[in-house]
A and B are shown apart, each in its own frame.
Chain A
Amino acid sequence: MASVNIRDVRKAYGATQVIHGVDIRIEDGEFVILVGPSGCGKSTLLRMIAGLENITGGEILIGDRVVNDVPPKERDIAMVFQNYALYPHMTVADNMAFSMKLRKAPQSEIDERVNKAAGILGLTHLLERYPRQLSGGQRQRVAMGRAIVRDPQVFLFDEPLSNLDAKLRVQMRTEIKELHQRLKTTTVYVTHDQIEAMTMADKIVVMHDGIVEQMGAPLELYDRPANLFVAGFIGSPAMNFVKGRIKAGAVPSFETEEGASLPLASAPQGSDGRPAVYGIRPEHFRLTDDGLPAEVVVVEPTGSETQVVARLGGHEYVCVFRERISAGPGETIRIAPDPGLVHLFDVESGKRLGA
């Protein structure tokens, strides 16, 4: 096991730069998830750690060793590919044993490790099958088995669950997390699914257009997003944003461009009259009798909660309530944003304002 240190790493394909100076420190044994929209450079970064892409600028360290010029096979890392990349002409057992056979490990050791990995992943009865004869979830497990058998310094996962159906994805999520708790191998995991990121990671790195927007523990990102991008990306349904001005004073408030007034717990120092973006998560609205009157547009009950799109002062907000709602479209409900859970962002830079 080892830490991974990414220092000011850049990547350019010809003239187009796709990674613009990324710094990430991954501690020994940590489970780090790179998350971001499609095309932001997650796979590229992962493949640079693996050594499958060369590094245009900056350096990557695995343990204490700069690996920029170390060929992939000497980096001692294992990768699980999105399409699993199982060798179709080898049985499950041979797939898992391939790396050990290459370095001529004794057969007894190979058998022992393969059987152990197969036991962990519940693949024992499938060892003689070929990849074509497996289901998607089983293939995924074989791909992980191939990585486990290696006992590498670092595990890399590139969207390993994106080919699975929703239910299996949830199950494999748990399995991967359990596996990590058991093996404690440093893991870098790429996904574009923020729920996967929230549920599995020790640390999330949010990437966007080749830069790191924010890095931190899942709840830290949820509670204190550093900018508009992270605020909008983390959390589902996404945070509501509305533009307007801060009104400081004895009872601070926020006046939207449409003229509605929204509550604020506190206004940042000297921010009276300052234009800003007001952000409130759907789950941070409450239904109260002294709330603001809002017109119901759509009601979507999911059973455990109810999602409502409501129009307030000319702007539509997505709200999620625990309560069931009897009001239909066109009717009025009274909703109140929790002032303590409001986020303010700068209009120009999108940076978080205040605490």
Chain B
Amino acid sequence: MTDATAARLRPASRPSLWDRIGQGRNALGLIFMLPAAVFLLLFLTYPLGLGVWLGFTDTRIGRAGVFIGLENYEMLLTDHVFLLSVFNTILYTVVASILKFALGLWLALILNEHLPFKAFFRAIVLLPWVVPTVLSAIAFWWIYDAQFSIISWALIKLGWIDAPINFLGDSTNARASVIAANVWRGIPFVAISLLAGLQTIPPSLNEAATLDGATSWQRFRHITLPMLSPIIAVVMTFSVLFTFTDFQLIYVLTRGGPLNATHLMATLSFQRAIPGGQLGEGAAIAVAMIPFLLGAILFSYFGLQRRKWQQGGAD
């Protein structure tokens, strides 16, 4: 038997490993995924792993720590500031997300109407998002200034209040102020994404519903909202994740004060780890965020699953 015939016969009888890899879709898929997997491993898993590991040690800046098991976490459970920061984070995320959703949806609905200067208004809506967070945070810092606040000034001029509002000095005010700033910054993302979703709803559906006798509220309730629900799920998941992990706004505006009333888990983690030097404890706080984030992701995973009506053949 010559080599040529042997080569021709072999795949038929027993495919070589190489042939099997070349033919199997799964094996080939794995090979193509390898670079991405390596990349992810290097840049995502390594820092994450390091963070988790640090959380189990008593590392400080300038001193390598030793493994201390769950001691950090046990300590956190009795740490009032940490527990307050968990409460703050949840409050901040829930209130800001609800407001962003409501206002964003409302804006998207308005922008979806036939407005004059539509493109202009859409550009305006994007502005808060285009401005770097730190810059807008500094602007808010001025807006919320105890003495020079433009809001206080305007309200005093209008005669509604007598003394400037202590925006960032009072616990409740400070919480409301940082939430307002976060909402302002987060609305464009929600509004523009939902607007894009609205534009994929064929106008004939609304026309059909009009002829079926639906009022504009009923059209919104029975057509627009259900058709938009998949996009709402995606957008709100992202919005919740961004809000939960927010750092910049708080850090510039209040640094967690007053009396830790606006300390979020992210800001507390940073404060303990870097200025405070307790790397292990800071890492433990950051790791404690993971269950919450995982919860949000799972929630959206089930929310995002294709509804029954989205399944089946395309048009």
Please report A residues at the B interface, Cβ cutoff 8 Å.
50-52, 72-73, 77-79, 81, 83, 85, 87-90, 98-99, 102-103, 130-133, 146, 150
Contact = CB atoms under 8 A, between A and B. Distances in A.
B213 interface: yes
A337 B266 CA distance: 92
Interface in B210-234: 210-215, 218, 222-223, 226-227
For the complex, would chain B's binding face be called helix, strand, loop or mixed by DSSP majority? helix
B295 interface: no
A130 B204 CA distance: 18
Contacts of B313: 132-133
Nearest to A147: B211
B212 A90 contact: no
Contacts, number: 70
Contact of A81 (B204, B214, B218, B311): B204
A322 to B, nearest CB: 42
B223 A87 contact: yes
Contacts of B311: 130, 132-133
Contacts of A81: 204, 207-208
B205 interface: yes
Given A87-B205, A87-B223, A102-B218, A73 B211 contact: yes
Contacts of A52: 207, 210-211
Contacts of B226: 89
A298 B208 CA distance: 48
B312 A130 contact: yes
Contact of A83 (B202, B210, B312): B202
Nearest to A143: B208
Contacts of A102: 212-214, 218
B210 A85 contact: no
Given A81-B204, A85-B204, A98 B209 contact: yes
B304 to A, nearest CB: 15
Interface of B: 202, 204-205, 207-215, 218, 222-223, 226-227, 307-314
B310 A50 contact: no
B131 to A, nearest CB: 37
Contact of A98 (B207, B222, B307, B309): B222
B309 A90 contact: yes
Nearest to A81: B204
A52 B206 CA distance: 10
A190 to B, nearest CB: 14
Nearest to A98: B212
B217 to A, nearest CB: 11
B312 A133 contact: yes
Given A51-B211, A83-B202, A88-B309, 19 more contacts: A52-B207, A52-B210, A73-B215, A85-B208, A87-B222, A88-B310, A90-B309, A98-B209, A99-B212, A99-B213, A102-B212, A102-B218, A130-B312, A132-B309, A132-B310, A132-B313, A132-B314, A133-B312, A146-B208
A132 B312 contact: yes
Nearest to A79: B211
Contact of A103 (B213, B308, B314): B213
Contacts of B308: 130
Contacts of B314: 132
Please give me the 5 A-B residue pairs with the lowest Cβ-Cβ distance, nearest first. Answer: A99-B212, A132-B312, A85-B204, A85-B208, A133-B312
Contacts of A133: 311-313
Nearest to B311: A132
Contacts of A89: 226-227, 307, 309
Contact of B204 (A77, A83, A132, A150): A83
Nearest to B219: A102
Contacts of B312: 130, 132-133
A19 B228 CA distance: 36
B205 A50 contact: no
Contacts of A79: 207-208, 211
B230 to A, nearest CB: 10
8 contacts: A72-B210, A78-B211, A89-B226, A99-B213, A130-B309, A132-B310, A132-B314, A146-B208
Contacts of A99: 212-213
A132 B307 CA distance: 12
Contacts of B211: 50-52, 72-73, 77-79
A89 B209 CA distance: 13
Contacts of A77: 211
Contacts of B202: 83, 85
